[in-house]
Each structure stands twice: as structure tokens, then as C-alpha cells.
């Protein structure tokens, strides 16, 4: 049976941080805009307090979540258990990209492994946390974490990463500013 919480219950904190994959969802205000769902993984998620979570946002080919949260703040993070005990957890709230030049960045970044591909820390201030059964989610085993992004970043200089972000992360698919000023 599903439950709803106003704050993150203690029993979910370590469970969420142990999951090898989670998904973030965002959307622009425009009805014909692109709804975005992105998988995230590795050691990139942290519970900051009972109503705040964050994840390490690594350089990618798009920046939809950053653009959408800049426009409207809407962000959902979902976890699904693929192990023996089924469970789905959704965190609903207001998200924001904390960029390297923001006052809170250093404190948030220190909570994560050092990664030269980090372009922001996405922070979510939750307003509602829900759990549902997950009975229809398949059981799967983790084979391992991909190293492709790490290898790609290792071949880039800081200037190369900056240029890539200007080319690929300035605007969303719908033309909303992401990393563009």
C-alpha cells in the first residue's frame, strides 16, 4: 500500500542512497515542450536533510533538467527497487541547479566524489514524498557501473569541457536557457 510523507523518513535515506540507478523528470511550462526523464547512477545522490536532496549533475549531451528548473522549478526524482523487496519512491518538489560560481556549490560539491565532469549540483527541496509497491518492476542484478563518461572527461581539458558545455548545454531542446546566461 502506498504512503505519502511530508519529509523523508529515516528508513528511506540509506535505501535511496544505495540504489544504483534513479530517474529525474522535468518539463517546460509549454504544453508542446519536451518532457524529460533522465537516468542517473553511481555515487551521485545525497539526502541533505529531511526535505532536501541533491545529486551530482555531470556533463552530458543535453541540459534539459537545468533549463526546466530555471524556468519553473518543477522536478521529480524516482527510485525503483530492482532487488528482492519491491519499492518505488518519488520525491516531488522544487529543483534548482547550483552552479560552480554559486555560494552553496562548494559545500554541496564536498558531499560527492570529486569528478571533473561535474557541471552543477541539482538540489531538490521536497514538498511530498510517496512510496508505492513496485510489484510490477522486474528484478535485476547490477553488472557494474559504466566508465565511459569518466574516460571521455579524462581526455578533455577544462577548456574543452567549457567549450562542449557552451555548444551542447547552453539551451534545452525547446530553446530554454540552461547554462546560457
How many C-beta atoms surround the C-beta of residue 125 within 10 A?
16
Q: Which tens digit of pLDDT belongs to each residue from 100-144?
A: 999 999 999 999 999 999 999 999 999 999 999 999 999 999 999
Helix boundaries (H) for 8-117: 10-18, 64-71, 105-109
> At 181, is the pLDDT very low, low, confident or very high (cuts 50, 70, 90)?
confident
CA 77, 142, 144: angle at the middle one, nearest 5? 100
Hey, how many other C-beta atoms are within 10 angstroms of the C-beta on 136?
7
Does residue 1 carry a pLDDT above 80?
no
CA pair distance 93, 13, nearest whole angstrom: 17
Q: pTM (2 decimals)?
A: 0.96
Amino acid at each position: 500500500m502506498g504512503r505519502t510523507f511530508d519529509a523523508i523518513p529515516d528508513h528511506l535515506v540509506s535505501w535511496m542512497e544505495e540504489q544504483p540507478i534513479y530517474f529525474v523528470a522535468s518539463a517546460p511550462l509549454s504544453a508542446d515542450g519536451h518532457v524529460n526523464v533522465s537516468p542517473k547512477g553511481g555515487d551521485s545522490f545525497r539526502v541533505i536533510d529531511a526535505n532536501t536532496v541533491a545529486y551530482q549533475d555531470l556533463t552530458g549531451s543535453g541540459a534539459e533538467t537545468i533549463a526546466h528548473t530555471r524556468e519553473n522549478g518543477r522536478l521529480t526524482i524516482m527510485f525503483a527497487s530492482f532487488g528482492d523487496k519491491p519499492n518505488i519512491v518519488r520525491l516531488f518538489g522544487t529543483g534548482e541547479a547550483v552552479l560552480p560560481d554559486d555560494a552553496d556549490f562548494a559545500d554541496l560539491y564536498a558531499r560527492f566524489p570529486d569528478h571533473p565532469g561535474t557541471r552543477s549540483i541539482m538540489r531538490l527541496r521536497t514538498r511530498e514524498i510517496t512510496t508505492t509497491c513496485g510489484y510490477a518492476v522486474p528484478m535485476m542484478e547490477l553488472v557494474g557501473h559504466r566508465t565511459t563518461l569518466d574516460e571521455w572527461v579524462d581526455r578533455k581539458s577544462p577548456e574543452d569541457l567549457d567549450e562542449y558545455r557552451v555548444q551542447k548545454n547552453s539551451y534545452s531542446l525547446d530553446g530554454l536557457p540552461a547554462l546560457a546566461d
